[in-house]
Each structure stands twice: as structure tokens, then as C-alpha cells.
A and B are shown apart, each in its own frame.
Chain A
Amino acid sequence: MELENILQTLKQELDQIDDVQALNELKAKYLGKKGSITEFSSKIKDLPLEEKKTFGASLNKIKTEATNMIEVKREELETALLNKKLESESIDIALPSTKIPMGSPNIVEKIVEEVEELFMSMGYDVVDGPEIEEDRYNFELLNIPKGHPARDAQDTFYLKDDEILLRSQTSPVQVRTMLEGKGEKPIRMICPGKTYRRDNDDATHSHQFMQIEGLLIDREVSLSDLKGTFDVLAKKLFGEDCQTRFRPSHYQFTEPSVEMDINCHSCKGKGCSICKNTGWLTVSGAGMVHPNVLKNCGYDPKEWKGFAFGFGAERLAMESYGIDDLRIFYTNDLREIKTFDRKEAE
């Protein structure tokens, strides 16, 4: 075989090859110990000195070229092989996924946590206390002595002789926090928790429900500060365009007392059946802490002031998520709860 033709022959042979093994054999045929190209190099020693140089150079060049050609072919073959393998491995990505289990919060707990996070960001601690309470924490220290008509509205589950009860409100947690503060420390806290009243369970009543109460005690606090705080909460829960208003009200443990309304989200304040044509929905009762309560809990009303507020957590959730039956929170239908495993819309 002429040296000049060798690469051309190689090329023709390479074109015929379609697997790696044949390629290895071809490589041996040309570049192996007894390969045709290798054989040419054994001829070098018989050539005259001058020719030796030029022949050697062109042989080397051909050797490199041949190696290259073979390796290029190898890569081609390997790529084709891999592609074939990948093709055989392809899947139907439309088939259903493997569901990663993720639990949801209870619906009412969802809104409670939102309120908690908001108030914690404003420096309020989140505290809870006993659900089986003493009468004095639940009523007496809160300016509701025995025989007071305010007790009638909160028909209470008593466990023992008018002394031990299931708390009818979370306010006793405020009392306990104030007593711990010993009249010396400013207080910022909210106390979401279970409460109990003798109501028959129906769409709007429940013998067990959740309250979120809050308390701020400091030296300089005003009713306008309460209004500002309520605005922050209303906007967070019901959107930036939520309107709020205060109405005079009455509670035994606050004075002045107010009811805090938001404009009806359903009719945007025009009046509808949900808001009884008033355009407003009451979401909270609040007020400035009654001086008697401050005194009872060790804070001197001449030096300290405070505001307190309370929400029905289920009520907030009902307004917020459009729920019309209070019992839903306690049936725990997983088909309903599951939809609450997601972050809030911004």
C-alpha cells in the first residue's frame, strides 16, 4: 500500500463501521504493532539519510491524522450509543407525581397565627394561661363582682361551687400577666386561647371557641393609639383599603369602651344582608383598661394606663375566608382543612 493512499483507504473503511468493537479492530489494523502504518516506520531505517527525515515527518503526520480520524469516529459512535440509551429511558412526565405529605393548620389556627405574627412584630408576647380558672381571675379582678349582670351574658361552666370554672374569656391571662408584672413593668401581650360558655352549638354559637385578647400597659397610652393599632391589624387581615371605625360601647374591664368595626367586605360599605344594611361589621371589643382593673392587678392608675382588646378568632376567620358556619372549625373535615396548607395571598 502506498503511504499516500493510506488515509483515504482508512476513511473509506471508517465510513463502513458502526460499532466500537469494529473500530478497535480497525485501529489495530492501521496503528497496532503489525498495523499497516506501523509497518511503514520499520522501513525508515533502510532509507537514505536525507529521505529518512522527510519520510519520517510525513509518516508522523499521517499517524496523528489517522489517530484523530479514529477518535472522532469513536466519539460519534459513543454519542450515538448514549443517545439511544437516553431515548430508551425517557418517561411520560404527565403521569401523576408522588405526593409529599404536608399537613395543614386548623382553619382558625391559621388566622390566629397570622394575628400572632403581626403582634409579635409590634413587640407583643404571645401568652396562654389555664383553661380551668378561678372565679377571681375570670371575673372578680376584672371588675365583675358576684351578682353583676355582666356575668349573665357569659353563662359560665362552673366546676366547683362558683369558685372554679372553665374560663369564659381569655382575660384572666391578662390579669395573671399584670400580677406577674407587679405594677412595675410595661406590658405588651396577646393571649389567644380556648374559652367556654354555655351556648348550644349552632351556626353562630359554640360552647367552645377561641378568643384573641391583647393588652398594652405603659405610661403614655391613649384611645387613639388603640385606634391606630386596630387599623394596622384590619389592614393586615382585610387588605390595605379596609376602612375602620370606633363606636362607643361598654365592658366592665375597660373605660372608655369601644366596638371596632370594619367596612363590610361583601358590599364595600353600601349595605347588604351580611352587615344588616349598616355597611359595617363589628370585629372587636376594646377600650382603655378600667382603673379598678389596673388597681386590682397591682398597677397604679395614676401612673399607668393601657388598652385591651378582644376578638373572636372564629369570627375573624369567618369574615376573612367567607365561612358561614362556626361548627366547621371543630368538625375537622380534611377535605376542607387541606386547602389551608398554603401561604396567604399578598
Chain B
Amino acid sequence: MIDLEWVKDYIDIEDQDLKELAVKITEAGINVEKIITNHIDNLVIGEVTKCEMHPDSDHLHVCEVNIGKETVQIVCGAPNVREGLKVIVALPGAILPDNFEIKKSKIRGVESNGMICALYELGLEEKTEEAYNRGIEELESTAKVGADPLKFLNLDDTLYELDVHKHRNNDCYYHIGFAYEIACILNRKVTLPKQDTNPINDNIKNHFELKVETEKCPYYLAKMVTDVKVGPSPEFIKRRLNAYGMRSINNVVDISNYVMLEYGQPLHFFDKDSLGDKIIVRDAKDEEKIKTLDGIDRVLKTSDIVITDGNKPVCIAGIMGGEETEVTENTKTILIESAIFDSVSIRYTAANLDLRSEASIRYGKGLSYEYTEKAVERACHLLEKYAGAKVLSGTIKHDKVDKTPKIATFTVDEINSMLGITLTEDDIRTELNRLDFEFQYQDGKFITTIPSRRLDVDPNVNDIAEEVGRLYGYHNLVSTLPKCEIRKGEYIGDVKYRKIISKRLRSLGLNESKTYTLTSPAMAKTFKYEDKENAVLPNPMSIDKSVVRTSLIPSLLNVYDYNKARKVNDVMLYEISKTYDANHNEESKIAILMSGNYILNEWSKATIKIDFYLVKGIIENILDYLGFKNRYAFEAEVLPEIHPGIGARILLDRKPIGIIGKVHPKVSKDDIYVAELSLNSLMVKVKPIKFKAAPKYPGIVKDMAFAINKEVSSKTIEDVIKKVGGRLLTNINVFDVYTGENVKEDEKSLAYSLTFQDPNKTLTEEEVNTVFENIIKNVEAKTNAKLRDK
């Protein structure tokens, strides 16, 4: 939050409309999210010229109020209203807090043209009993009738609530840093506040010794003041801290906060008398304890940084001071600390202790060394002026900060080609001046030094282009398209297969679902048809999402349940997603779930119910489409969570690539069929498409039926038929599967219709019969099948 009245101390923006300025600032990259202002329209200073009791009331007054241009009649109920008083008048049209609009009205029959206000009624004070009893606000007699009362009271501050991107949240969240930002937008100069002091003839070095024993404190600066008189803060400090949302405590504490909001540098004030004469900054010891000034005992870790008095911690560096050395009303001598601590370490400690203070937030973002000293001087100046302090000369300093200036070298062309604009050398000069970046121009090159307050800017062309670009205004960029070689983009690798299969499955009627990769241990345990361990998150958010799945089927079953519960009975789903095992090996999988009717038309009896063979058909369709005809097979297998008699392993080139089956009734009572394929296994070479002419000579179709034991797979017979049928056998079709009358109880009848065809000639009946008889002979010999109806 930034108080614009405060910013005016450092830069002249009196002429600016603060709403328009907010837009300019936002366009240049610092997002002003909200403009907070106390300003209320139709509020004027008035003078009560006549005050009489209301004829119809024992507490209301009827007042004549001079508001400058005219005198209006207002009914007022406050006990302290009286003739000659200067007051705050809300005229009709004024909108007070809670959207309370002032209107002309009649109060017990008497016309009233506004309202005489108390501060709490304007939302500028808390409505306490005391405030209520005080009645309306009594303005000083010097108040000018007709003027804006909030301006007169110095209560009309405008505040910007900022939403700043991470890289700028160190320099834009303090008032001087923000003044620099406005300065570059408006091309104006920043004036830093006064920091001069009259040091006494005593040096801090006579009182203090400093030792820094950790690398996490590159900078530590201390200064000392004495004879401090703790008391109330001056009005302007109180008011500004209040507006910012900080409670005023006393002049000393307030000054430390005030300077932090000016320079962004947190200061810590130690009560010197309780501290002793030594400061050692070091890493905390494990389990070391300190009571912080909020009265809580804290236990530290070795990753924390502490300020010690040589023995014990007196402050958790960058986070919060200890109770023991806290500045109190009796404090006389103060040691002021202005330091830089390792931002990562501070963030870690703050998170670890769950203790986020104004200081820790700022340290966590990183600080510029330039302001550590300025902030201390400024604090001394204010303590001298407003707390009667005497400043000791000298400082105690530990300084290991790398102060190598950040120097960027670049040409106008480099900036222009980065942004796609055409600035001239002079334009760049202007921009750099606005940014307050010092520069030289040599041999067609700009050499510029980046100020240390701009921690975010690195010395490269891109960073300078960004600074130039945001001032130039991104809204001024003209859209162009890259000048690139013309080519068609492609789906690469597994994405290509995902797309092909996805489109095919959709056209076969399956809906694409998208589920979570992280599942529960219970889900991950099911459908484990492979020898795979699951990867488990060591720190999951919840047990429900703690395991990386190896199969998508459990997730699809959840989707089925969700839809089923909503009376969707025909569920056809697929999902293609990556899965990972415990060794983080990746495998993309295609999962299918089908239940209900594939095609439904009850009145016309065209319904096709989903069963194993339909899902098998979907799988074959996909595999054939990918070019794997005659390379795959289904092998019956008992699989986990699959019906033991209705399940199979899918093989491609004799290697397992997936499974298919009916969901085990112990998992679901519904008829649900699932399948899952490894997408990676399908990413193999296939033969190119080749034209094959339709047969020129007629084929001969012959039927045969066998009785065979129920347990035997039809594949056993089919394999023999294929082998014996050879080249002439071009198609095998099962046209009947039968059990019942005329077939033994433990047998089934399988009827085949075989097509024989020769591509080069018309086959004769004899030729076909020879093969046909041979097939029957072999099937009977090699399997337990018997030809039926011989």
C-alpha cells in the first residue's frame, strides 16, 4: 500500500489526477489494484449562524448553516451543535459509508437540507461510545467556510493498493521506491528526505563491539542514540502509519516503522542498557531458545540466523526481536540495527516459525545496500527531532556486500529488434534519463549503470529492453508476425499416436474422459495386471491423491459410478494418459470402459448391447487401423478385478500389450467391460498400404460344424483349420455357437463357414473337397472335436 500524500514528500505530483496517474502506473507495469480515498463529494465546511430548538422535539435543533455560496436549513440532533460553530456539512448527493446517501427531507415536519457530521459518520473514526457522546466534529475557527473539510483536516489521503509482480515487490512497496517509479513515468526528479544530525562528541565504538560469524549476514550496520524521550509521535507520523494500517505506539517505535515504509529497510531498535556491549551475529544452535517480543518462546534451528549479546540470542535476525532487549517507555539509549540478511534463509525461518512480520516480508524479498545507511541516518534524524535523542558519532559496520556495479552495454538496434519498434538514439537517452540510469554513449553503444535499488534489473539487453519498452508503452506496439520459413506443424512422437487413436475411438462412439494422475492407495491396488510398483508422494496433500497410478481403469470406474448415479446407463469412455511406475518409467496407456447399450433403439429392436465381443471388436478396430492386422492375439487369462472366465491378455507380435475383460462382480454388479492398451507398444513400424486387387475368380463356400468340449477355445480348432486350409482358404467365419439338444452336456457345437479361393483360376469342386476333407481329418485328429452330422 502506498500513501500518495506521503509520496508527495519526495516528488512533486500536486498537478496529477491520482486516478489517471494510477492508470499510467499500471500501464508501465506496476498494477494499481485499488485506489482507496477518503474523499466524499458534496462535503463542505459550514458555519452555524442560527440554532433553535425544533418546535416538535426536545433534542433536535433547527440550524441555519452558511456553506459559502448560500445558507441552508439543516435539522441536527447532536447536543453540541451551537451558533458560531464551524462544522462538516454533508449536502444532498453526498454518499457516506455504507452507501448512505444524503437527501433533502423533512424531519418532524421541518425541512432539512443536509446533515452535520461526526467523524465516525464519515468512516474516519471508530464509532465508540466516547465518539458518540462527543457529537458532531467541531472544526477550528480558522476553517474556511465552503472549503473541503477533509482536506482541512488532512484526512483526504489517497492510497494505492498495489499488486506488484514479484520482481518489483522490493522497490515498489516503500514510498521512496515508488516515488522513483512515478518519477520515471512522469519524467520528474526524486528528492530524498532530510537525514542530517548533530552528533555528540562520543563515538559508538566506545560502547560497542560487533562480530559477524555467519555468511548469511553480508551487511550489518549499527548506530547509537542516547537520551531518548519516549512519548507520543508527531501527528504526521501517527496519521501516515494509521492510514497504512499500523497502530501508533510511541515516537521511537513509530520512527522505526516510518523509516521502513520510507526506505523499505527494516530497522531494529535494541534497548542498549539491556543488551550490553557486544553483538555477535551467528547461525542459531539447534534447539536454541528465545522469547520474542510477542511473548512467545521460540525454538530455533541451525538454519536460522540470530543476533546475540555474546551469549544468548536477543533477536531472530530479520524476523522479530527478543523481549529482553525490547525498547520500553523507560529506554534511554538505543542501538539501531540496519542490516541485510540472506533472503532465502529469512523466508525459510519465517515459514518454519510461522512468523511473518513486516520485517521478514521485506528481508525475504531482498534489499538494496544503498538504503541501509540512508535509513539509519534518517532514523537518527527523526529521533533527534521528535524524541529528543542525542546521536553518537560513527557507525559500527560489517560489510561484505558485493558492490560491483551492474553495467549493461547495448545498441539502439538491439533494443529495437527485441521490441519490434524504431526508437532513435535520442529516444533511448530520454528513456534512460527518465529511469535515472546513468549512462555513457561510446562508439554507437550505450553503457549504462543500473542503480542498486533496482535489484530486478540485470545487465543484459532484454532487461534494458523491458525498462524501455514499458515506458514506451506496450499498448503502442504494432502487431507483426514472425518472419519464419513456411512449414506445416506436426504432432510429434506419442502425441501423434494419442491424437490418431483418440479420433478413432471417438468415431467408434467412445467419449474422452480426463481424470487425475494421483489416486488413492486403495485405487492404485486394483487392476494390477502388470509387475509394477507405484510411485508414492512422500508429502501428499491428502491420502486420496498420494499415489501415481499405473492403470487408468480404476479412474474410469469412478467416472462410471458418477454417471451411473446420475442415471446415465450407456457409458462408453476412454482415456489416454501417461502412467509411471516406482522407478518413474513412463508408459502412455489407452483405457476403455463400456457398459449398457452400444446402439439403442427399443421400438425397432435395433439395440446392440455391449458385451465382451463388442469391446474386442473396438480393440481390433484400433489395431487394424494402426496396421497390425494378423499381428495380434487375445489369450484367455485370469486377471485381477476381472471376471475369471471373461478376461484376456492382448498380445502384439506375441508380446503382452494390454488386457480386456469384464469387471469382476465383486467390484461392480453391473455389466462393465474394460480394456487397457499400452500406447508405447503401438508405436512400432508397420507395412505401408499396398493395393490388392479384388479376386477375379469366384470362391467356393463350404460349411462344417464340430462338437467339442466346452472348455476348449474355438481358437484351437481355428488354428488347425487355418494351417491345413493354407493359401486357398481366404476366410473363416463362425456362424453358430450352440449348446443344448443334440449336443452332449459338456460339449458345444461350433459351426464354420469357409471360403476357398484361388487368385489365378476358378477352383473345381474336387480341389476344394480335397482340402475340405483334409481339414476335417486334421481337426478331428489334432483336437478332441468331432464333426457333426456326418
- Structural contact, B574 and A103, CB atoms closer than 8 A: yes
- Structural contact, A126 and B165, CB atoms closer than 8 A: no
What are 13 pairs between A and B in contact, CB < 8 Å?
A101-B509, A103-B508, A104-B511, A105-B506, A188-B484, A223-B477, A229-B481, A246-B474, A255-B462, A288-B465, A330-B514, A332-B511, A333-B568
Known: A109-B512, A333-B566. 4 other contacts (CB 8 A): A99-B600, A194-B517, A227-B474, A333-B563
Is A16 in the interface zone, CB < 8 Å from B? no
Looking across the interface, which residue of chain A has its beta carbon closest to that of B479?
A228
Chain A positions 202 through 246: 1 when the CB is less than 8 Å from some CB of chain B, otherwise 0: 000001100000001010111111011101100000000000011
Query: Which chain A positions have C-beta within 8 A of B601?
Result: 96-99
Is B27 in the interface zone, CB < 8 Å from A? yes
- Structural contact, A332 and B490, CB atoms closer than 8 A: no
Known A125-B492, A164-B584: A103·B541 in contact at CB below 8 Å: no
Is B168 in the interface zone, CB < 8 Å from A? yes
Instruction: Find the residue from B344, B421, B487, B512 having the highest chain A CB count within 10 A.
Output: B512
Instruction: Find the residue from B417, B475, B539 having the highest chain A CB count within 10 A.
Output: B417
**Interface members, chain A 92-132 (any B CB < 8 Å):** 95-106, 108-109, 116, 119-128, 130-132
Is B19 in the interface zone, CB < 8 Å from A? no
Is A265 in the interface zone, CB < 8 Å from B? no
Known A220-B417, A291-B460, A331-B562: A101·B586 in contact at CB below 8 Å: no
- Structural contact, B462 and A290, CB atoms closer than 8 A: yes
Is B489 in the interface zone, CB < 8 Å from A? yes
Instruction: Find the residue from A189, A227, A341 having the highest chain B CB count within 10 A.
Output: A227
- Structural contact, B168 and A250, CB atoms closer than 8 A: yes
Chain B positions 166 through 184: 1 when the CB is less than 8 Å from some CB of chain A, otherwise 0: 1110000000000000000
Say how far A59's CB is from chain B's closest CB, in angstroms: 50
A160 CA to B517 CA in the complex, in Å?
17
Query: Which chain A positions have C-beta within 8 A of B201?
Result: none
Query: Which chain A positions have C-beta within 8 A of B365?
Result: 149
A329 CA to B562 CA in the complex, in Å?
13
Known A106-B512, A256-B470: A224·B420 in contact at CB below 8 Å: yes
**Interface members, chain B 282-314 (any A CB < 8 Å):** none
Say how far A52's CB is from chain B's closest CB, in angstroms: 56
A166 CA to B462 CA in the complex, in Å?
30
- Structural contact, B166 and A128, CB atoms closer than 8 A: no
Is A315 in the interface zone, CB < 8 Å from B? no
Kindly list the 7 A-B residue pairs having the minimum CB-CB distance in the complex, ordered from nearest.
A101-B509, A224-B420, A248-B29, A222-B420, A120-B489, A256-B466, A250-B165
Is B107 in the interface zone, CB < 8 Å from A? no
Known A123-B485, A132-B548, A305-B418: A109·B514 in contact at CB below 8 Å: yes
Looking across the interface, which residue of chain B has its beta carbon closest to that of A335?
B568
Query: Which chain A positions have C-beta within 8 A of B28?
Result: 248
**Interface members, chain B 220-237 (any A CB < 8 Å):** none
- Structural contact, B603 and A330, CB atoms closer than 8 A: no
- Structural contact, A123 and B488, CB atoms closer than 8 A: yes
A28 CA to B566 CA in the complex, in Å?
74
Count, chain A residues at interface, CB 8 A: 86
Is B719 in the interface zone, CB < 8 Å from A? no
Say how far B350's CB is from chain A's closest CB, in angstroms: 11
Is A48 in the interface zone, CB < 8 Å from B? no
Known A159-B584, A291-B462, A335-B568: A99·B488 in contact at CB below 8 Å: no
Known A98-B606, A104-B512, A149-B365: A229·B482 in contact at CB below 8 Å: yes
Looking across the interface, which residue of chain B has its beta carbon closest to that of A130?
B586
Say how far A190's CB is from chain B's closest CB, in angstroms: 8
Is B510 in the interface zone, CB < 8 Å from A? yes
Say how far A106's CB is from chain B's closest CB, in angstroms: 4
- Structural contact, B166 and A248, CB atoms closer than 8 A: no
**Interface members, chain A 319-346 (any B CB < 8 Å):** 329-335, 337-338, 341
A162 CA to B213 CA in the complex, in Å?
29
- Structural contact, A101 and B572, CB atoms closer than 8 A: yes
Is B515 in the interface zone, CB < 8 Å from A? yes
Instruction: Find the residue from A103, A198, A245, A258 having the highest chain B CB count within 10 A.
Output: A103
- Structural contact, A216 and B29, CB atoms closer than 8 A: no
A108 CA to B512 CA in the complex, in Å?
10
Which residue of A103, A106, A225 is within 8 Å of B509 (Cβ)?
A103
- Structural contact, B604 and A98, CB atoms closer than 8 A: yes
Looking across the interface, which residue of chain A has its beta carbon closest to that of B556?
A332
Query: Which chain B positions have C-beta within 8 A of A218?
Result: 482, 484
Query: Which chain B positions have C-beta within 8 A of A330?
Result: 514-516
Query: Which chain A positions have C-beta within 8 A of B478?
Result: 224, 227
Is B469 in the interface zone, CB < 8 Å from A? yes
A224 CA to B509 CA in the complex, in Å?
44
- Structural contact, B506 and A102, CB atoms closer than 8 A: yes
Is A200 in the interface zone, CB < 8 Å from B? yes
Query: Which chain A positions have C-beta within 8 A of B505?
Result: 103
Looking across the interface, which residue of chain A has its beta carbon closest to that of B366?
A149
A73 CA to B606 CA in the complex, in Å?
42
Known A121-B488, A123-B485, A288-B465: A248·B167 in contact at CB below 8 Å: no
A341 CA to B511 CA in the complex, in Å?
9
Chain B positions 148 through 169: 1 when the CB is less than 8 Å from some CB of chain A, otherwise 0: 0000000000000000011110
Is A268 in the interface zone, CB < 8 Å from B? no
- Structural contact, A224 and B479, CB atoms closer than 8 A: yes
Query: Which chain B positions have C-beta within 8 A of A232?
Result: 481
Looking across the interface, which residue of chain A has its beta carbon closest to that of B540?
A157
Query: Which chain B positions have C-beta within 8 A of A301?
Result: 460-462
Looking across the interface, which residue of chain A has its beta carbon closest to that of B478?
A224
Say how far B600's CB is from chain A's closest CB, in angstroms: 6
Looking across the interface, which residue of chain A has its beta carbon closest to that of B574?
A103
Is B140 in the interface zone, CB < 8 Å from A? no
- Structural contact, B514 and A108, CB atoms closer than 8 A: yes
Is A150 in the interface zone, CB < 8 Å from B? yes
Is B444 in the interface zone, CB < 8 Å from A? no
A331 CA to B515 CA in the complex, in Å?
8
Is A79 in the interface zone, CB < 8 Å from B? no
Say how far B173's CB is from chain A's closest CB, in angstroms: 14
A250 CA to B460 CA in the complex, in Å?
16
Query: Which chain A positions have C-beta within 8 A of B462?
Result: 255-256, 288, 290-291, 301
- Structural contact, A207 and B166, CB atoms closer than 8 A: no
Known A105-B512, A333-B566: A249·B29 in contact at CB below 8 Å: yes
Query: Which chain A positions have C-beta within 8 A of B485?
Result: 123, 186
Which residue of A109, A157, A248 is within 8 Å of B474 (Cβ)?
A248
Known A100-B599, A119-B489, A123-B487: A225·B481 in contact at CB below 8 Å: yes
- Structural contact, A332 and B513, CB atoms closer than 8 A: yes
- Structural contact, B418 and A223, CB atoms closer than 8 A: yes
- Structural contact, A127 and B512, CB atoms closer than 8 A: no
Say how far A104's CB is from chain B's closest CB, in angstroms: 5
Is B748 in the interface zone, CB < 8 Å from A? no
Query: Which chain B positions have C-beta within 8 A of A290?
Result: 462
Query: Which chain A positions have C-beta within 8 A of B480?
Result: 222, 224-225, 227-228
- Structural contact, B466 and A248, CB atoms closer than 8 A: yes
Is B219 in the interface zone, CB < 8 Å from A? no
- Structural contact, A227 and B364, CB atoms closer than 8 A: no
Looking across the interface, which residue of chain B has its beta carbon closest to that of A248?
B29
- Structural contact, A132 and B535, CB atoms closer than 8 A: yes
- Structural contact, A258 and B474, CB atoms closer than 8 A: yes
Query: Which chain A positions have C-beta within 8 A of B483?
Result: 220
- Structural contact, A227 and B479, CB atoms closer than 8 A: yes
- Structural contact, B492 and A248, CB atoms closer than 8 A: no
Is A257 in the interface zone, CB < 8 Å from B? yes
Which residue of B487, B488, B507, B545 is within 8 Å of A102 (Cβ)?
B507
Say how far A323's CB is from chain B's closest CB, in angstroms: 14
Known A100-B599, A257-B466: A95·B537 in contact at CB below 8 Å: no
- Structural contact, B535 and A159, CB atoms closer than 8 A: yes
Looking across the interface, which residue of chain B has its beta carbon closest to that of A186?
B484
Is A270 in the interface zone, CB < 8 Å from B? no
A60 CA to B539 CA in the complex, in Å?
108
Which residue of B469, B488, B539 is within 8 Å of A223 (Cβ)?
B469
A245 CA to B643 CA in the complex, in Å?
58
Is B419 in the interface zone, CB < 8 Å from A? yes
- Structural contact, A120 and B469, CB atoms closer than 8 A: no
